[in-house]
Structure 1
Amino acid sequence: MAKLTLTPDLARRARLAGLFYLVIIIAGLSAELGLRGPLVDLADAGGTAAAILAAPGQFRLAIAVDIVMALSDAALAILLYLVFRAVAPGLALSAMVFRLIQTVLIAANLMALQAAWLILSASNGLADAPALALVFLDLHGHGYDLGLVFFGVNSVMMGVLVWRSGVFGKLFGLGLAMAGLVYLAGSGLRFFAPEWSADFAPAYGVTILAETAFCLRLLAQRSPGREPV
């Protein structure tokens, strides 16, 4: 593995990557926690159905925001490859592929949300519509965690690339690698030990902190020779 040689072009790509990363963080948290979260209670099919039907614009806006996140994620995957390929071309390419797989899975998984909406909004009133819609909403959560398996692998790879870059700081690389392990552990619990998922949830604070810190570091990247104002 080689060290990065900072160039004006690389610095611009890093800042653009940081911008897309910021969009992903804001969009992801907004869609899941701010828009969809207040409407969905997986323990209450009837209440969830009533909440979604009472705020259809909010539910569908969450899907739109998720689409924006997925598009930004694809762009970020390519930009990070362009930035870090000089460190280790094979590893950078692998990281991009794993992130793109995650992006495709999460984007395709939005069809589960659309299916839930179609079931609830059906004019002919499907039998047991709330219960069936809740199955699709729960499926979306599992599909999201499946995507995070691939993102977890990507994050560990990115951690290695950042650690070895000589530009972005080893602490950022360590943080990304730790975030990747959290994603892998959390997704594993969701599928194989769901009764422990709630207790593990606070660990995701590590991922938010690590990814936000790296995002800000990318945004703050100066071109070589540029003096701070």
Structure 2
Amino acid sequence: MNNKLKNKARLTGILYLLVILLAGFSQGYVRGTIVIPDDPQVTLTNIISSEVLFRLGLISDLLAFMIDAVISILLYQLLKSVNKTIAAIASVFRLLAHPAIGSLNLLNHYMALETASRSGIMSSLGIEQQEAWTMLFMNAHNAGYLLAGAFFGIHCLLLGILLYRSVLFPKVFGILMVLAAGGYMLETFGNFIFPGYQFVLANIVGFSAAIGEISFTLYLLVKGTRKTI
């Protein structure tokens, strides 16, 4: 039983690391360098000149969301002994956040690419129309990203409770995951209620999520679990 749990935990850690790397590449590097907020002209130019990279960003996100569906089930199996109901709810919220909402939201990423294309359906409307529609789709993608973050924040909150109560993991990871949940929730509701502070809120969630999720991922990779059940 001990080896099976450790192997399952390490597999979860490997997949979690892949998600962090893939999502970091697509959101942090691809969209972070190509999409310039409030500058449709530069954004359109960047998408056209970096089309392959922009497409890779979409694929990277899609792969991350598919892997996240597996992580959701693995975390449920690891933590259902703590509280089966909470573990199931946490799993559902993670499935809704990225495999569901996040995947559908990639349509906005794809439509921005189609709109920006010189041979696409919008090319006959003129460059200004292309710029406006491209930015509209990217803004819609950002809003969808925030909506998914609210669901993921609830998942992190419930995951934190489960980790704190579990004998398999140090309680500190439960505390850190709850802090990560606060970061995600603050980013989502802060952006919708108080627009204009996106940079500050993104830094808050980046810091809190990095501490919580990365530290937990490293523990899963290195140690797996703390003790047997």
TM-score by length of 2: 0.92
Distance 2:17 2:145 in 1: 19
Specify whether residues 211 and 222 from structure 1 end up closer, same or farther in structure 2 by C-alpha distance, changes over 3 A only.
closer
- The answer to whether the Cα contact below 8 Å between 1:7 and 1:224 also exists between their aligned partners in 2 is no
Q: Deviations over 1:169-227 (max 9, x none)?
A: 010110001100110111001111112333333212111121000001111235789xx
Aligned partner of 1:11 among 6, 22, 34? 6
Q: Residue type of the partner of 2:124?
A: G
How many residues get paired?
A: 220
Residue 3 of structure 1 is matched in structure 2 by none
Give the drift of 1:126: 2.8
Aligned partner of 1:105 among 80, 91, 101? 101
- The answer to whether the Cα contact below 8 Å between 1:36 and 1:58 also exists between their aligned partners in 2 is no
Residue 125 of structure 2 is matched in structure 1 by 126
Q: Residue type of the partner of 1:216?
A: L
Distance 2:172 2:14 in 1: 21
Residue 117 of structure 1 is matched in structure 2 by 113
Q: Residue type of the partner of 1:106?
A: G
1:67 and 2:62 correspond: yes
Q: Residue type of the partner of 1:126?
A: L
Distance 2:224 2:181 in 1: 27
Specify whether residues 105 and 132 from structure 1 end up closer, same or farther in structure 2 by C-alpha distance, changes over 3 A only.
same
Considering only aligned residues, what root-mean-square deviation do their CA atoms show, in Å? 1.6
- The answer to whether the Cα contact below 8 Å between 2:164 and 2:172 also exists between their aligned partners in 1 is yes
Give the drift of 1:72: 1.1
- The answer to whether the Cα contact below 8 Å between 1:149 and 1:184 also exists between their aligned partners in 2 is yes
TM-score by length of 1: 0.92
Give the drift of 1:25: 0.6
Residue 35 of structure 1 is matched in structure 2 by 30
- The answer to whether the Cα contact below 8 Å between 1:162 and 1:170 also exists between their aligned partners in 2 is yes
